Structure 1
Amino acid sequence: MPRSLRLWDISPTVSPDAPIFPGDEPYQLRWTAQLSPGCPVNLSAITMSPHVGAHADAPLHYANDAPAIADVPLDTYLGRCRVIHAVGAAPLITVDHLRHAEHDLPPRVLVRACERADTQWNPHFTAYAPDAVQWLAERGVRLIGIDTPSVDPADSKVLDSHQQLRRHDLRVLENLVLDDVPAGDYELIALPLKLQGACASPVRAILRELP
């Protein structure tokens, strides 16, 4: 019998304590029905920003008249992926942090910038330098990811790295947890929900060992 391929869950728990950008909508859960003699089920309702936890930004997030997350093709979120370690890179991940892993680069790249992913809001998180996003796109990368809240710095008003995503039609995953993932190649599975009109979607992102 073939052995099972190892999985890495790279999604943080979505909870009321999950770190979010100031002013964003936190995760909240309430019960609309609960098991009782007159009710056969528990039912819950949630409110939250689609940017809480591991999530996929839609192009609509950073460009008007761009696709919402329900309209984005899914193939980019599924397939061979490379995890590149750049722990300690701050404030930006640059081309120099990536160049060592350039050979035979797959179309999906996740960068681990944190020794341990933040569990509280940290406005000084590491982001991508815009030229690093362009460099990856020029090498055939179609999706990038990071273990911080955004590919742009928290105080950015122009979102240069997001605009590089737009120019090169790249997809992005943010707020991943790569603490225990060795550098190397995996299969990525991180499908967004089909949320009509939404600027992003939560994902249950996992990496699977390659056979």
Structure 2
Amino acid sequence: MEKRRWIDITQPLTNGMAHWPGDTPFRFELGVTKEQSGSVNIGEIRTSLHMGTHADAPFHFDENGKRLHELDVNTYIGKAKIIDVTIHPSLGRSELEGYNLDGVERLLLKTSGTNNPFVFPESFIELRPDIGPYLKEKGIFLLGIDVPSVDRTDSKNLPTHHSLGDNGIHIVENLMLADVEPGDYEFIALPLAIQDADGSPVRAVIRRI
């Protein structure tokens, strides 16, 4: 029997990748070359913490919310269910009631057939604020999605971020799920240990259960 393999569902951090309008683009370069140092290459990066596949800390949208270093790493490791919601332009309680989410703790939403890191999507699925209370009722404490945000790009009050945060739901955005089959998986998406941060890139991987 072939050993179950981990599948990388991370959007790579790459020079020239698309970024949220007005946000700091990702940039990697060699700050020091081996030729310059005589021994090693040393790379450096400049980036928003919300580039590529990333976790939002509650402090990202709530001044009184927990910062990254205050979050439990166990939130980002464990069983997860991927469901295909590509048929829905908008998603909330009524649509999710059509899926069996009994016993699910981490839910990953496959909303699109593509996720091009070099093109910021003109539009993507709308998650309605009633999703937060429903996920809490089901016992879900992490929501992952394959688009840049759980709110619309033109939103300033971020109602779905707040709905999720108020109901104890942690957020991972910009997963790469286009080529992944729905089902139950082991899931790891650990944020970096950045003191006081509002978010962090993650390396997200799954393995079929």
Q: TM-score range by the shorter chain?
A: over 0.9
Q: Residue 86 and residue 37 in structure 1: after superposition, are their counterparts in 2 closer, same or farther (change >3 A)?
A: closer
Query: Which residue of structure 2 lines up, in the alignment, with residue 133 of structure 1?
Result: 132
**2:116 aligned to which of 112, 115, 118:** 118
Aligned equivalents of 2:64, 2:56: Cα separation in 1: 15
Query: Which residue of structure 2 lines up, in the alignment, with residue 54 of structure 1?
Result: 53
How far did 1:124 drift?
Answer: 1.3
> Please, which moves more after superposition, 28-37 or 153-162?
28-37
How far did 1:30 drift?
Answer: 2.1
- The answer to whether the Cα contact below 8 Å between 1:146 and 1:175 also exists between their aligned partners in 2 is yes
**Cα root mean square deviation, aligned:** 1.6
Aligned equivalents of 1:88, 1:17: Cα separation in 2: 31
The residue type equivalent to 2:92 in the other structure is: T
How far did 1:154 drift?
Answer: 0.8
- The answer to whether the Cα contact below 8 Å between 1:191 and 1:203 also exists between their aligned partners in 2 is yes
The residue type equivalent to 1:143 in the other structure is: L
1:93-114 deviation line (CA, Å, top 9, x unaligned): 2234322322424100000101
Map of 1:52-201 to 2, 5 A cutoff? 52-90=51-89, 92-119=90-117, 120-201=119-200
How far did 1:16 drift?
Answer: 2.2
Q: Which runs of 5+ in 1 are unaligned?
A: none
TM value normalised by structure 1? 0.92
The residue type equivalent to 1:100 in the other structure is: G
How far did 1:146 drift?
Answer: 0.5
Aligned equivalents of 1:121, 1:162: Cα separation in 2: 20
TM value normalised by structure 2? 0.93
1:52-91 deviation line (CA, Å, top 9, x unaligned): 000000010010022111211111111010001011422x
Aligned equivalents of 1:37, 1:200: Cα separation in 2: 34
Aligned equivalents of 2:16, 2:87: Cα separation in 1: 25
What is the aligned residue count? 208
How far did 1:135 drift?
Answer: 1.0
Q: Which runs of 5+ in 2 are unaligned?
A: none
The answer to whether the aligner puts 1:45 opposite 2:29 as a matched pair is no
Q: Residue 105 and residue 97 in structure 1: after superposition, are their counterparts in 2 closer, same or farther (change >3 A)?
A: farther
Q: Residue 25 and residue 3 in structure 1: after superposition, are their counterparts in 2 closer, same or farther (change >3 A)?
A: same
How far did 1:133 drift?
Answer: 2.6
How far did 1:198 drift?
Answer: 1.1
1:132-181 deviation line (CA, Å, top 9, x unaligned): 23211111000001000000111112111111122112111000110111
Runs of 4 or more above 3 Å deviation: none
Q: Residue 103 and residue 68 in structure 1: after superposition, are their counterparts in 2 closer, same or farther (change >3 A)?
A: closer
- The answer to whether the Cα contact below 8 Å between 1:128 and 1:152 also exists between their aligned partners in 2 is yes
Map of 1:14-53 to 2, 5 A cutoff? 14-36=13-35, 39-53=38-52
How far did 1:123 drift?
Answer: 3.5
Aligned equivalents of 2:15, 2:164: Cα separation in 1: 30
Aligned equivalents of 1:71, 1:173: Cα separation in 2: 16
Aligned equivalents of 2:64, 2:172: Cα separation in 1: 21
1:24-66 deviation line (CA, Å, top 9, x unaligned): 0111112122122851111011000010000000010010022
